[in-house]
Structure 1
Amino acid sequence: MELATAALSSLLPKLGSLLVDAYNLQKGVRSDIRFLKDEMERMQAALSDLSKLPADHISDVDKLWARDLKELSYDIEDSIDAFTVRVQAGAQPPSLKGFRKFVHKIGLVKKITTRHRIAMDMSEIKSRINEVAERRARYNLPGVAGQPDATTIDPRLTALYEHVERLVGIDGPSEELISLLMKSSHGVRSQELMVVSIVGVGGLGKTTLANSVYERLKEKFDCHAFVSVSLKPDIKKVFGSLLRKLTRQEAGERDLDELISEINIFLRSRRYLIVIDDLWDNEAWEFIKCGLIDNNHGSRVIVTTRNVDVANFSSIGGSTYQLDPLRDKDSKMLFHKRIFREEEEIPSELEEVTNKILTKCGGVPLAIITIASMLASIPHRTKREWDSVYNSMGSGLEKDKSLKNMRQILYLSYDDLPSYLKPCLLYLSMFPEDFEVPRNDLVRLWVAEGFVDESEGSNLYDLGNRYFCELINRSMIQPVDRNQEGTTDACRVHDIILDLILIISGQENFVTMSEDRQLKSSVCKIRRLSLQGSKVDRDEDSKEEQMIQPVTVDVSHVRSLAVFGDGYQWMPPLSRFSTIRILKLGDFPCKNNQVKDLGSLHHLRYLEIASRSEIEHLEGIGNLQLLRTLDLSKTYYNELPASIVQLKQLECLRIHRGMRIPDGIGNLTSLQQLSTFNVASSPNTLAELGNLTELRVLRMWELDTDESYTPTFLKSLSNLQNIQYLAWNSNGGCYPDFDCVSDQWRVPVCIRRIVGHSTICQVPRWFSYLSDLSYLTIRIGRLRQDDLQLLGALPVLRNLTLIVPYYGIVDQPLAIDQPFLALSEFVFRLTTRCYLLVFTPGVMPKLQRLELPCRAPGDGFHIGLEHLTSLEHATVRLSVAFGREKDGEDTEIKIRNAIGIHPNNPKLNWRDL
C-alpha cells in the first residue's frame, strides 16, 4: 500500500501544475486532468485507510488494486514529464527570468503534435483509471476481507524458553546489564526507579538477554513480571497481562483506568522488576509508564526495542544498552551447538562454507540458529548440500518453511516503518551486498526518485537526511564512517535485512536486479534496474567483452539504472532508456558507443559516472534540462563542457579537482553544492560564485596559489548567505588573509562547518559572528591568546581542530580561559615542536575527547587536565628526539601519572608526532 501511496504523492503535485492557465491546454484535456486529479486524491485516501490495517487483513483484490494503481501512477508521471520536457525545449524570450520565463514558455506551446500527444495520453489514462476502479469493484465482494493468518503465535516466544546451556555469547552482556541495573548510574540513587533500554536490530537477541537477566534477578525483588507489547498493541490487554503476572488476578471487566489504578496500588509499597519486551513507539510507552510508580524502593524496569529514539525516550535514570552482534568465536560456537554434538568438530571440508554462512549471518543469533537448524535437518552433511544452502540463503528466506519464523520477525520492523520510509529502504536493494552507500548520495537519489515529500515545506535534502537518520535509529540500516561530529557519512544494509528487502522489492516490482548476463523478460514493466557484476581486472579490448550481447528486455519504463562492477558489459544502449531519471554508472570504462546518447536522456535528474579512463561525448549534457545532480568526482576529464552552464535546475555539481570549470557557471543559480572547485585552473569562477546565492556546500582547491584570489573570493562569499559548509585545501602557497574585508562586507552567518587544510594568517575576526558554527578545522599561521578568546565564545562549537606551524607561536604557554561551553572534542597539533596549553577552572565542561602534543624531555602534563570534568579519552602525540629514548620513557610515565589522577580515569592513547 505504502509504495502505491508514495507513487501518488509524487504524481499529484504534477497533475495540479498542469491545470495552471499558462499551459493553454485544450478545454477537454483540462477536464480530463481535473478528473484524474480528483480520482487519484480519493484513491490516495483509500490507500491511506487500507495501510492502517494489519497486512493479513487486506484482501488480495485490494493488494492487486494497489499494485495496478502504483503502475498507473508511474505511467501518468512519465507522460507529464515527457510533456514538460517538450514544452521546455521551446524558445523563450531573453528578457524574462525565472518562473515568469517558464510560464511564458508554456504559453508558446503551439505545436499541434505536442498538444495532441498530451490530449491522447490523458484520454487513454482516463480509460485506464476507470478500468482499474471497475475491476476492484467487480471482484471485491461485500463483506469479504483478507483473513488473518491461522496462527496467532508470537514468533519471538521461543526466546523466552531457550535453555540456558544453549545460550552463547550472553554472559558478558548479562553482566553489563545487571551492573547497570543494580548500581547507581549518572548520579541517580539506587533507590529511585531506573529504566534501562536494550536496543538492537530484530533477531539480535534482545528478548533472550532481557529474559536471562530477568531470571537471574527476579527473586531479589518483591514482585516481578515479563510482558510483551507487540507492534500494534492493545494497551488494555498489556495492562491486563501486567496485573495478572504481578498479582495473579485476572483483569475481568475492569477498564483501562481501573487497571492502572490497581497496578499502582499494588506496586506502591513493593520493590518490583518488570520487563517491557518489544516496545515499538513512544506513544505506547506514555501509557505503560502510567502504571510504573516511582516508590523509592529501588524498582527496576527493562525495555527492549529496535528503535534508538524509543530507547532514549523510555530510559529513566538509567541508560540505553546497545546490543552488538556476536563475535566470530561466539557465532561459530552457537552454529556448532545447533548441528554437532559437543565432542564433534566441524569437518575440514565444511570449514570454508561454514565461514561463508557465518559471514552472511553477520553475528545475528536468529540468522545463525535458523540456518543451522536447517542444515541440521539435512541427512547428509556434504559440501555440496551446504553450498546449496549458502547459495540460496536469500531466496530461501522466501521459500523455505523452516525460515518462515525468521522472516516474520524481520518483517515486523519493515511493517512498522512509516509509509514515507518504506520506498527509501527498498531503494537500497539497488546496491550490491556489503556496499557502503554514502549518505549524501543516497539522499539525492531519494529526492530524484520523488520519495521525499515536497509538501512539508522543508528543504528536501534536510528532510532526506532526517529520513536517513530515522532508518538508522530503527536499526534498518547500519551506520559506517562516523565523522568527528558523531554523524554518519555512509551506511550499509545487514545481509539478512538485504535479503528481506530484495524479496519485498521483487514482490512489489520495485527493483529488478541482475547479477549475471541474463535478465529474464517480465510481464511487469521494469521500473528500476540494477546490473551487479563482479569487480575484476578487465582488458577493455578483450574478445570476451566484444562477444557479450546487451540484455534485450524492454527498458523504456526504467526510472533508475545502477551499474556496478562489470555489469556495464551487458547494459542495454542508453538510447533505449527513454524515461530514465537516475543513471549511476560505477567503475565504468566509458567507451564512446556507451555514453554517446547521454544528451538524449531528457528526463534525467541524477547522473553519476565513475570511470577509470577519460570520458568523451559529454557535450550533449546541456540538453538535460531537468538534471539536478551531476557527479563526475570519480571521473578523469580535463574540462567540463561549456554547455553545462545551461542546466538551470542543477543543484549539485561534484567534479574532480583537476577539472576546469567553463566561464558562465554563475548562471547556475539553483546550485546548492559545488565541489571540488580548483581555483588555480578556473580563476574566473571565483567572481561568479557570488551569483550562486543558493549555495550551501562549497569545497575549493588551491585557493592560496595567488594572493589576488583571496579578495575576490571574500567578495563572493559575502553574497553566499545560505552557505553552511565551507572547505579549502592547497598544495602550499601564500597565507590568505581572511580579514581583508570592508565595513560593508556581510558575514555568511549560516555557516555550520569549516574545514581549512591550507594555512591562513590568523583566525578571522568575523568568525565571532558565526553563531551556528559547530565544527571547525583550521590551520593558522599564527596563534594568539585572543584567537582562543574568540573561539571560546562561539556558542555551539562542538568540534575544534587547531593546526599551527612551529614558528606560529607568539605567547607560550597559552591559557584557555574562555568557556567553550559546547565543545566535546578538541584536537591541537603542531607541525614540529610542542608547547603547552593551560586549561583553567570551568572551561570546556562538555569536553570528552582531547588530543595534544608533548615533547620529551618534558615536565609531564601539569596543564590543568583536572579542570576538564567530562574528559573520557586523551590522545598524546609524543615527540622523542633521536638518542633521547630514555627521556621519552620518563615523559611517558609522567603523562600517565597526570592522566591517572583525573577523577574520570580517561582512556589514554599514544600516537607518534
Structure 2
Amino acid sequence: MESALVKFLIDVVLATEASLLWGVRDEIDNIRDELISMQFFLVDADKKGTCKEGETTWVANVRDMAYEVEDVIDQFMYHIISQRIGGRSAWFLHHTIYFPQNLWVRHQAATKLQKIHKAIKAIPELNQRYGVNHIEGTSSKDNHKWVVHHGESSLFLKEDELVGIEDKRQLVMDWLMDGEFHQTIISIVRMGGSGKTTLVANTYNNNDVKKYFDCCAWVTVSQAYELEDLLRTLIKEFHKSRKEAILVDLRLMNYRSLVETLVNYLEKKTYLLVLDDVWDTNLLDEIKVSLRDSCLGSRIIITTRKEDVACYHLGGKHHVHHIQLLQEEEAWELFCKKAFSSSPIGSCPPELKSFAQEIVGKCEGLPLAIAALGSLMYSKNMSEWNEIYNTLNWSLCNNPKLDAVKRILLLRFNDFPYQLKHCFLYCSLFPEDYGIQ
C-alpha cells in the first residue's frame, strides 16, 4: 500500500514540481533512483505479504523512509509557495530581504534529504547482516492453504446445517442434468462469504448428480496456484471418483505430459468438474486445452466473485447464476441455529431478541458472517452480548471466531490494485452510512 505514496513522490513531486525544488536538485536526483527501487520493492512485498518479524521490520524501514522524504519535500514546497503568494511586492521581498532565509531553508532541506539517502543506502547492509535478504511471502501461502481448507470443508456440511439452499440447488441440478450433449459451463458468482461454495458442494454431493457422470473432480483454486499442481490434483480427483489407481508417478511428469494424461483420460467420459474460487481468466485460458468438449454432456462449475471470470467463454453452453443472499427469515433461521442450538427450544430468548436482530441485520444476508457471529454468540450471557454488539468492528479484527470473515474480506482487499488500497482505507475515516461527496 505504501508504494502508492512512493509513486506519488516520483510522478508528482519530483516531476511536476521540479521548478520549486531549485537548490535541492542534486539531492532529489540522488534519491530518485532509490524511490523507484522502493516502489518496486513495496509493490512486491504487498503482493506477497510478510510473515517473519525481520521481513516486517524491513518493509517498515522502507515505508518510513518514504514518509520522511514526503515530509521534507512538503515542508520545503510549503515555504517556497508561501513566498510566491502576494504579487510583485512578495516577489521583491522573496528575492531580496528573504533571500538568506530561503537559502537556509534550501540548505536545511538538502541536508535532511542527504541524511535520508544515507539511511536508505544502509538498509540493505543491515538486512544482509541479520539475514533478511528477500520477501518470502509465507503469509500468502498460509492464507491460500486456509482458503483451500475452508472451501473444501463445505463438502462435508450436513443438510440440516444449511438454510435457504433448496431452490438454488434445484436450479443448478437442472442445468447439470438437462440432457445437453455439448459441454456446459455454469458460473456461480457473488461476493465472498455469500454461500457459493456451500451451494455447489451440496449439489456436487447429491447422489443423483454423482450417478449422472462417469467421473467427478473438485479443486479449489484461489489467488495463488501452480498450474502443474492443479493438473495433478485433477487427475487424482477424477481417478479417485472412480476408485481407480494411478499407474504413473505424477510428480515426475511435466506440463505437456500432464495435459496429455488428462485429455486421454477424459476423452470418452462424461465428467463433472468444479473449479472453486477462481480469481482470474488466466487460469481458464491455461486449463481449457485439457478440458475438450467430447460432446458427451460434461459440465464445468466455476465459483467466483468476479464478473469477468463468470462471463468468460470456455465454449458450449454457458449459464451465469448470481447467487442471492439470504432473505430476512432465512438469515434469522441460520443465526438461531448457530447461536441457540443449546437452547431447549432452539430459539432466541426474549431478552436477547433485539440485540440478535440488530446483529443479523448488520450481516445483510451474508451467510458466512451470520454463521460466524452466531457461533461467536453461542452460550454468551446478556452482558457479553452487549459488549460484543458495542465492539463489533473491534471483534471482527481481534476475535478468532470471526477469523473466517476477516480472511474472506482481506482476499478481496488484497486483490485491489495497489493504487486503490489507500483510497479504500481513506473511506474508513467516515462514519457508517455517512454520505461521501
Tell me if both proteins adopt one fold, taking TM over 0.5 as the criterion: yes
Q: Which residue in the other structure is 2:131 paired with?
A: 142
**Is 1:240 aligned with 2:238?**
no
Letter in 1 for 2:43: S
Find 1:120's aligned residue among 108, 116, 119: 108
Deviation of the 1:182 alpha carbon: 3.8
- Please tell me whether Structure 1 or Structure 2 has the larger radius of gyration of its CA atoms: 1
Root-mean-square deviation over aligned CA pairs:
2.9
Partner of 2:35: 40
Query: Pairwise mapping of residues 475-874 of structure 1 onto structure 2 (< 5 A)?
Result: none
Query: In the aligned structure 1, how far is the partner of 2:95 from the partner of 2:34?
Result: 27
> Closer, same or farther in 2 for the Cα pair 1:52/1:374, shift >3 Å?
closer
2:87 is matched with: 91
Residue 25 (str. 1) matches residue 25 (str. 2): no
Residues 18, 291 of structure 1: CA spacing in aligned structure 2 closer, same or farther, 3 A cutoff? closer
Q: Indicate conservation of the 8 Å contact 2:58/2:127, yes or no.
A: no
1:383-428 alpha-carbon deviations (Å, 9 max, x no partner): 2211111122211122222222332232222222221222222222
Task: Report the Cα distance in structure 2 between the residues aligned to 1:208 and 1:370, rounded to whole angstroms.
Answer: 15
**Per-residue deviation, 1:15:** 4.1
Deviations 1:424-447 (A, max 9, x none): 22222122223454xxx4xxxxxx
Give the aligned partner of residue 393 of structure 1. Answer: 392
Give the direction of change, closer, same or farther, for the CA distance of 1:288–1:55 in structure 2 (3 Å limit): farther
Unaligned runs of 5+ in 2: 241-245
Name the residue aligned to 1:320: 320
1:480 alignment partner in structure 2: none
Cα gap change, 1:289 to 1:128, in 2 (>3 Å): same
Match of 1:252 in 2: 251
Change beyond 3 A, Cα 1:364–1:137: farther
- Of 70, 75, 80, the match for 1:74: 70
2:58 is aligned with 1:59: no
Matched, 1:13 2:15: no
Q: Could you tell me whether the CA contact under 8 Å between 2:288 and 2:314 is conserved in 1?
A: no
- The one-letter amino acid of 1:234's match is E
Counterpart of 1:375 in structure 2 is 377
Give the aligned partner of residue 362 of structure 1: 364
- Which is further off, 244-253 or 50-59? 50-59
Report the AA paired with residue 370 of structure 2. Answer: I
Distance 1:281 1:81 in 2: 43
Distance 1:168 1:80, change over 3 A: farther
Displacement, 1:132? 4.7
Q: In structure 2, do the counterparts of structure 1 residues 136 and 406 end up closer, same or farther at CA, with 3 Å as the change threshold?
A: farther
Q: Percent identity?
A: 25
Could you tell me how far 1:47 is from its partner in structure 2? Answer: 2.3
Partner of 1:330: 330
Q: Secondary structure at the match of 1:385?
A: helix
CA distance in 1, matches of 2:86, 2:401: 61
How far does the alpha carbon of each residue in 1:218-264 deviate from its partner, in whole angstroms, 9 at most, with x for none? 32111111111121111111111001111243623111111111111
User: Which is further off, 394-403 or 124-133?
Assistant: 124-133
Helix, strand or coil at the partner of 1:295: coil
Find the residue that maps to 1:142 and give its secondary structure: coil
The answer to whether the Cα contact below 8 Å between 1:87 and 1:109 also exists between their aligned partners in 2 is no
Structure (1 or 2) with the greater helix fraction: 2
What residue in structure 1 maps to residue 152 of structure 2?
157
Q: How far 1:167 moved relative to its partner?
A: 0.5
Other structure's SS at 1:252 match? helix
Cα deviation, residue 213, structure 1 = 1.6
User: TM-score, normalized by length of structure 1?
Assistant: 0.42
Following TM superposition, the consecutive aligned residue runs of length 4 or more in structure 1 with deviations greater than 6 angstroms are: none
Structure 1 residues 310 and 147: CA distance shift in structure 2, 3 A: closer
| C-alpha spacing 1:361/1:24, structure 2 compared with 1 (3 Å) | closer
Kept in 1: contact 2:45–2:137 (CA 8 A): no
Using the alignment, how far apart are the partners of 1:269 and 1:24 within structure 2? 71
For 1:881-896, what aligned pairs fall within 5 Å after superposition? none
Say how many residue pairs are matched: 413
Q: What secondary structure is seen at the aligned counterpart in 2 of 1:356?
A: helix
Which residue is 1:223 aligned to? 215
When residues 321 and 70 of structure 1 are mapped into structure 2, their CA distance, relative to the original with a 3 A threshold, is: farther
Distance 1:159 1:435 in 2: 36
Structure 1, unpaired ranges of 5+: 94-104, 185-189, 442-913
> In the TM superposition, what is the alpha-carbon distance from 1:86 to its structure 2 partner?
2.9
Report the equivalent of 1:428. Answer: 427
1:494-537 CA distance string (max 9 Å, x none):
xxxxxxxxxxxxxxxxxxxxxxxxxxxxxxxxxxxxxxxxxxxx
- The aligned residue for residue 179 of structure 1 is 174
Counterpart residue identity of residue 218, structure 1: K
For 1:421, what is the secondary structure of its paired residue? Answer: helix
The alignment status of 1:271 with 2:270, answered yes or no, reads yes
Alignment-mate amino acid for residue 262 of structure 2? I
The SS at the match of 2:318 is strand
Residue 68 of structure 1 and its aligned partner are, at CA, apart by 0.8
> 1:191: which partner in 2?
181
Contact 1:225 1:274 in 2 (8 A): yes
Partners of 2:429 and 2:20 in 1: CA distance: 37
Q: Which residue of 1 aligns with 2:243?
A: none
Give the residue type in structure 1 aligned to 2:213.
Answer: F
Equivalent position of 1:206 in the other structure: 196
CA contact (8 A) 1:14 1:77 kept: no
Matches of 2:73 and 2:406 in 1, distance apart? 34
SS where residue 156 of structure 1 aligns?
helix
- Give the secondary structure class of the aligned counterpart of 1:319: strand
